[in-house]
């Protein structure tokens, strides 16, 4: 990363809990790339977060490398940004502990994502799942990040990170920068293709509900063809048209065409034509990424070089904050 003092810092993370979806791409990853010229960007594949849900070890290891490859294929440039694996940088877990001791049980129990995940993984409601947001706050606060690009579903966690930073600063004196969320206007909440009232998620049991970033063109076209819409047969962005609104958002994010332009383009034409156009736009959006992905996956040494050098730098930057925190809370300075 070119260390540039006058640029602001961005931090964001993504879990290696499956191949990212079109939702992850439009809500977050696409922006991660765009910010690289104007900010010091620090991005992480957050494997510590992923084990809050039971993971098969071999699969997790594979998915972590898959995700590093995919992020490079999307355009994350290691000459501009850091791209590291969270478990390689121990300061994350270290700061998370201190933050846990400064976060109230009641606050964490109100987190929507905790309530949802506790309901969908009722057999494994572990302490890590509960304290997930404090680890996420540690990720961000360690780098004194100014801004955090995320999809809308992470807004509540970011508010918690801001509150924590403010409260910690209030008790111990100025320690953390208070980060701003960067939530895109379009694409912040891409919905399931099968139930457009639910967000598109890589862990959905119904494969037709989401587009994986590595889906083949045939699968992408088929999934859009089957997408749930309504019986009105009018391509327009309106209330009570969640399915069409979602497809219009995807088409808008993929092509840059405004809702008015899309409405005009499909006036008097059926949903079949529209779904086909959305599918084709997404195939074209993902094609160059998929081509590059295969090359990166074949080059494990290059991947290791990227995530190792990035982790070394991330450790250096984050240790400064951790040392400051340890001093403020009263720990004796380590002399080795
Ligand atoms: P994760 O791995 O679930 O998702 C990664 C990013 O994708 C966004 N996203 C979506 N955007 C639009 N539509 C959707 N359907 C959709 N689904 C997911 C997410 O908002 C996210 O930006 N807790 C985080 C990972 C994390 C993190 C952090 C993020 C850990 N530490 C620090 C920012 C800063 C998560 O589970 O994202």
> How far does residue 151's CA lie from ligand 1's centre (Å)?
6
As a whole-number percent, the residues of the chain with pLDDT over 90 amount to 94
Q: What is the CATH number of domain 207-294?
A: 1.10.240.10
CB-based pocket (< 6 A), ligand 1: 11-15, 23-24, 27-28, 46, 49, 136, 139-140, 148, 150-151, 153-154, 188-190, 199-200
Give residue-wise pLDDT tens across range 22-55.
999 999 999 999 999 999 999 999 999 999 999 9
CA distance 85 to 72: 13
pLDDT score for 264 = 97
* 2 — pLDDT class (breaks 50, 70, 90): low
pLDDT score for 121 = 87
Give residue-wise pLDDT tens across range 245-282.
999 999 999 999 999 999 999 999 989 999 999 999 99
Indicate if the pLDDT at residue 4 is higher than 90.
no
pLDDT score for 255 = 94
CATH topology of domain 8-187+300-329: Rossmann fold (3.40.50)
- 202 given a catalytic annotation: yes
3-state secondary structure of 26: helix
Three-state SS letters, 232-288: CCCCCCCCCCHHHHHHHHHHHHHHCCCHHHHHHHCCCCCHHHHHHHHHHHHHHHHHH
Structure tokens at 299: 């080059």
- 241 given a catalytic annotation: no
pLDDT score for 186 = 85
Indicate if the pLDDT at residue 3 is higher than 70.
no
Q: What is the mean pLDDT of residues 207-235?
A: 97
- Where does the chain hold its CATH 1.10.240.10 domain(s)? 207-294
What's the whole-number average pLDDT of the chain?
A: 96
Query: HSE on the CB side for 236, CA within 13 Å?
Result: 9
- 313 given a catalytic annotation: no
Q: What is the mean pLDDT of residues 8-27?
A: 96
Give residue-wise pLDDT tens across range 298-329.
999 999 999 999 999 999 999 999 999 999 99
pLDDT score for 236 = 96
pLDDT score for 248 = 97
- Where does the chain hold its CATH 3.40.50.620 domain(s)? 8-187+300-329
Report the binding-site residues for L-tryptophan.
139
Q: Is the pTM of this model over 0.75?
A: yes
């Amino acid at each position: 990363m070119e260390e540039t003092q006058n640029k602001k810092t961005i931090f964001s993370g993504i879990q290696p809990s499956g191949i990212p979806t079109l939702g992850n791409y439009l809500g977050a990853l696409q922006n991660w790339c765009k910010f690289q010229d104007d900010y010091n960007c620090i991005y992480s594949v957050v494997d510590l977060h992923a084990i809050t849900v039971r993971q098969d070890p071999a699969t997790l290891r594979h998915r972590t490398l898959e995700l590093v490859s995919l992020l490079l294929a999307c355009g994350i440039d290691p000459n501009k940004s850091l791209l590291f694996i969270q478990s390689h940088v121990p300061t994350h877990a270290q700061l998370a502990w201190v933050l846990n001791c400064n976060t109230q049980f009641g606050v964490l129990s109100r987190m929507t994502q905790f309530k949802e995940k506790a309901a969908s993984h009722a057999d494994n409601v572990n302490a890590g799942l509960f304290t997930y947001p404090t680890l996420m706050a540690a990720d961000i606060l360690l780098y004194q990040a100014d801004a955090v690009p995320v999809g809308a579903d992470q807004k509540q966690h970011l508010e918690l990170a801001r509150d924590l930073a403010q409260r910690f600063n209030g008790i111990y004196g100025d320690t953390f920068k208070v980060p701003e969320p960067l939530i895109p206007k379009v694409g912040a909440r891409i919905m399931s293709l099968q139930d457009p009232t639910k967000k598109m998620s890589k862990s959905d049991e119904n494969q037709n509900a989401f587009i994986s970033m590595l889906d083949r063109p045939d699968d992408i076209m088929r999934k859009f063809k089957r997408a749930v819409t309504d019986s009105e047969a009018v391509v327009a962005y309106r209330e009570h048209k969640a399915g069409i609104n979602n497809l219009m958002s995807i088409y808008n994010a993929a092509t840059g065409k405004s809702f008015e332009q899309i409405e005009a383009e499909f006036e008097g034409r059926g949903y079949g034509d529209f779904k086909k156009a959305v599918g084709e736009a997404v195939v074209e959006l993902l094609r160059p990424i998929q081509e590059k992905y295969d090359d990166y996956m074949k080059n494990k040494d290059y991947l290791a070089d990227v995530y190792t050098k990035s982790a070394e730098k991330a450790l250096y930057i984050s240790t400064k904050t951790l040392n400051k925190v340890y001093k403020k809370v009263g720990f004796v300075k380590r002399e080795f």
